[in-house]
């Protein structure tokens, strides 16, 4: 393999006719410091990286070069791949995990010396460095979304949810499986199935909230109503709310088919429009990522106001592994998956909950469980790939494979985590009543 040092030396010794003129493969090899872990080929006929590598990238068009050169972070690669200008080899598009892992483990781009950078720009061509329109599947940048309302206003939140969750219920059935649960599962054993792990997650939430027949549960951001129906089957009066019309319609049909209308209800709307109070428990499973960090105070204030004194609240959400990083757009994720989504550390979440007057009783990290969940979702997408492509189109199906496989890597490497935080609304002078002194649920 040609190394960065070798390439620099050859460039220096080149004749005036060829000095500083690199092929696309040589450009990538220089930027990667000669440490390409996969085979790379390009439309100009050049190639780099180990021959016989199990994984490869094939750059097919000049448009792909522009996407790669002008997209910051992972956005350029995503644009070229989703638009069909970059092919992946050795992996299925429904689960490109192994290729992404090879890149994450070994690829580390470095900035070459200024003179060589000039030669690289000359080799690529200035025309290829001018930004072009992204694929149509991409959401507008955040500064342009203001036309839809201020960030995390009800109207803009509704549009963000529509972008992600109103793809197709049939598509989600193929990816998520029978439970239609789009949040981290909790695996009771390493060999447990996805469906078993999702049922176990609902069991864990139900037990942590100490729910009993006749209790009232509010599930905000309820998705397709999995938690609502789990609780209703056990005699709990459960109300769910979601901004997605597709989720609402699916959940309402499922409730009727199971004969749960006397116990369960799913509403279409914003959780902030729930007027009822006095709930025994509130569950928030996968909603906080959409709330916006600056809105945590009002979020916890509102959920606390829906609870009776002594009532319990469980918050389940993706977090960062630290609390120093300020929330910021996340490139590919913000443009293609979760518009306006924001993450912070579990410490920030707990602090905001405490400052709102809630008492934190317990928290735990299910990071490894989310990696397993994403593994199984990708396996489902691979199994139903042809149907998924027919339903939502090849670009959208590729977005999902890339997003889920990349997220799996993030959880495995501790780049992101999943925390459950259990808290209580204080009941002045009464304490927690019948709650045991130690955790009362089975792990």
97 and 227 belong to one structural domain: no
Q: Is residue 199 part of a domain?
A: yes
Q: Is residue 261 part of a domain?
A: yes
216 and 272 belong to one structural domain: yes
340 and 408 belong to one structural domain: yes
User: CATH number, domain at 287?
Assistant: 3.40.50.150
What tens-digit pLDDT sequence spans the chain (443 residues)? 344 344 444 433 333 334 568 999 999 999 998 889 999 999 999 999 999 999 999 999 999 999 999 998 889 999 999 999 999 999 999 999 999 999 999 888 888 888 898 999 999 988 888 999 999 999 877 655 455 555 555 665 556 555 455 679 999 999 999 999 999 999 999 999 999 999 999 999 999 999 999 999 999 999 999 999 999 999 999 999 999 999 999 999 999 999 999 999 999 999 999 999 999 999 999 999 999 999 999 999 999 999 999 999 999 999 999 999 887 766 899 899 988 889 999 999 999 999 999 999 999 999 999 999 999 999 999 999 999 999 999 999 999 999 999 999 999 999 999 999 999 999 876 655 568 889 999 99
255 and 396 belong to one structural domain: yes
Q: Is residue 255 part of a domain?
A: yes
17 and 67 belong to one structural domain: yes
Q: How many helices (H) and strands (E) would you count in the chain?
A: 17, 11
209 and 272 belong to one structural domain: yes
Q: Is residue 138 part of a domain?
A: no
166 and 49 belong to one structural domain: no
275 and 178 belong to one structural domain: yes
117 and 170 belong to one structural domain: no
Q: Is residue 142 part of a domain?
A: no
Q: Is residue 436 part of a domain?
A: no
Domain residues for the domain of 16 are 4-129
Beta strands in 290-387 (DSSP E): 307-319, 359-365
100 and 212 belong to one structural domain: no
Q: Cα(59)–Cα(69) distance, rounded to whole angstroms?
A: 12
Q: What is the DSSP letter of 416?
A: S
Q: Cα(194)–Cα(384) distance, rounded to whole angstroms?
A: 16
85 and 181 belong to one structural domain: no
125 and 205 belong to one structural domain: no
Provide the number of structural domains found in the chain. Answer: 2
Q: Is residue 302 part of a domain?
A: yes
Packing angle between helix 385-392 and helix 394-412, nearest 10 degrees? Answer: 120
Q: Is residue 246 part of a domain?
A: yes
Phi and psi at 321, nearest 5°, equal -80, 0
Helix (H, G, I), strand (E, B) or coil at 298: helix
- Going by C-alpha positions, the residue among 127, 111, 134, 126 that lies closest to residue 27 is 111
Q: Is the dihedral of CA 32, 36, 42, 45 positive or negative?
A: positive
């Amino acid at each position: 393999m040609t190394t960065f040092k070798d390439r620099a030396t050859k460039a220096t010794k080149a004749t005036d006719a060829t000095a500083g003129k690199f092929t696309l493969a040589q450009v990538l090899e220089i930027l990667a410091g000669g440490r390409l872990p996969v085979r790379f080929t390009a439309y100009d006929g050049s190639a780099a990286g180990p021959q016989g590598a199990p994984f490869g990238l094939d750059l097919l068009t000049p448009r792909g070069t522009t996407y790669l050169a002008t997209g910051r972070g992972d956005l350029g690669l995503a644009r070229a791949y989703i638009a069909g200008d970059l092919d992946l080899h050795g992996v299925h598009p429904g689960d490109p995990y192994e290729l992404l892992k090879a890149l994450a483990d070994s690829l580390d781009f470095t900035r070459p010396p200024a003179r060589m950078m000039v030669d690289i720009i000359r080799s690529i061509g200035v025309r290829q460095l001018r930004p072009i329109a992204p694929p149509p599947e991409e959401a507008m940048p955040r500064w342009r979304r203001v036309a839809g309302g201020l960030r995390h206003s009800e109207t803009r939140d509704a549009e963000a949810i529509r972008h992600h969750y109103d793809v197709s219920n049939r598509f989600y059935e193929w990816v998520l499986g029978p439970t239609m649960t789009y949040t981290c599962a909790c695996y009771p054993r390493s060999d447990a199935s996805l469906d078993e792990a999702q049922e176990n997650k609902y069991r864990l939430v139900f037990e942590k909230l100490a729910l009993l027949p006749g209790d009232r549960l509010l599930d905000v951001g309820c998705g397709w109503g999995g938690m609502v129906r789990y609780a209703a089957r056990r005699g709990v009066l459960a109300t769910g709310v979601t901004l997605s019309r597709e989720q609402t319609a699916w959940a309402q049909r499922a409730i009727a088919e199971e004969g749960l209308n006397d116990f369960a209800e799913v509403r279409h709307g914003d959780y902030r429009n729930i007027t009822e109070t006095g709930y025994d428990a509130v569950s928030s499973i996968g909603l906080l990522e959409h709330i916006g960090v600056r809105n945590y105070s009002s979020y916890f204030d509102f959920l606390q106001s829906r609870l009776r004194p002594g009532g319990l609240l469980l918050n389940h959400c993706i977090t960062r592994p630290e609390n120093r990083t300020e929330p910021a757009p996340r490139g590919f994720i913000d443009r293609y998956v979760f518009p306006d989504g924001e993450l912070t550390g579990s410490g920030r979440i707990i602090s905001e909950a405490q400052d709102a007057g809630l008492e934190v009783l317990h928290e735990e990290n299910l990071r490894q469980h989310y990696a397993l969940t994403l593994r199984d979702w990708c396996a489902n997408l691979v199994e139903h790939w042809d149907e998924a492509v027919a339903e939502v189109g090849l670009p959208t199906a590729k977005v999902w494979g890339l997003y889920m496989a990349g997220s799996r890597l993030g959880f495995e490497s501790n780049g992101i985590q999943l925390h459950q935080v259990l808290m209580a609304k204080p009941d002045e002078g009464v304490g927690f009543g019948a709650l045991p002194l130690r955790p009362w649920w089975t792990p």
